[in-house]
Amino acid sequence: MKSKNKKLPLELLVDIFEATDSTILEFTKKVFFNNDKPLMLKQKEFEKLWINYVNKLLTSSSIVYIFVGIIFKRRWLLICEEREKVQLHERLMEENKELLNVLKEFIKREERRRENVFKEKIEEEYGEFKTRIFKRRKSEGDKDE
C-alpha cells in the first residue's frame, strides 16, 4: 500500500500565509490605533494574539513549521525588542511627567517668593512715604505755632 501524501504546492502555502498574515495585521491596526489604552497594554495584547497565532499555525502542520519556524522566531525577537522599546518609552514619559511636576512646583515657589519680595518693597516704600508725610505734617504743624 503506497502512501498518497502529496506535497503542498509552494504557491498554496504562500497564499495561506498571506491571508493569515493580513488578518492578524488588520487586527493589530485596531489594537495599536486605539488611543484609550497605554502602550504596554497594547503590546501585551499583541503578544498574546501573536503567540496564539503562531502556536495554531505551527501545531497545525509540521510542513508549516519547516517553512516558517525560523521566520516566526525572528519575528518573536522583533516583538521582544519592541516590548523593550515600549517599556523604555513609557518609563521616559513617566520621568518626563515627574520632571514637569517638579518644574511647575519650582515655578510656583518662585512666583510666591517674587510676590513676597514685591509686597515687602511696597510696604517699605509705603512706610517711607508715611514717614515723610508724618514729618512734613509735623514740620507744618511747628510752623503754624
Per the domain annotation, does 122 fall within a domain? no
Tell me the three-class secondary structure of the chain, residue by residue.
CCCCCCCCCHHHHHHHHHHHHHHHHHHHHHHHCCCCCCHHHHHHHHHHHHHHHHHHHHHHCHHHHHHHHHHHHHHHHHHHHHHHHHHHHHHHHHHHHHHHHHHHHHHHHHHHHHHHHHHHHHHHHHHHHHHHHHHHHHHHHHHHC
Select the more confidently predicted residue: 67 or 103.
Answer: 103
Per the domain annotation, does 71 fall within a domain? yes
Q: Give the number of domains in the chain.
A: 1
Per the domain annotation, does 4 fall within a domain? no
Q: What is the pLDDT of residues 83-103, one digit of tens each?
A: 898 889 989 999 999 999 999
Give the range of the structural domain holding residue 75, as residue numbers without chain letter.
10-104
Average pLDDT of the residues of the chain = 76
Per the domain annotation, does 97 fall within a domain? yes
Q: What is the pLDDT of residues 17-26, one digit of tens each?
A: 666 665 565 6
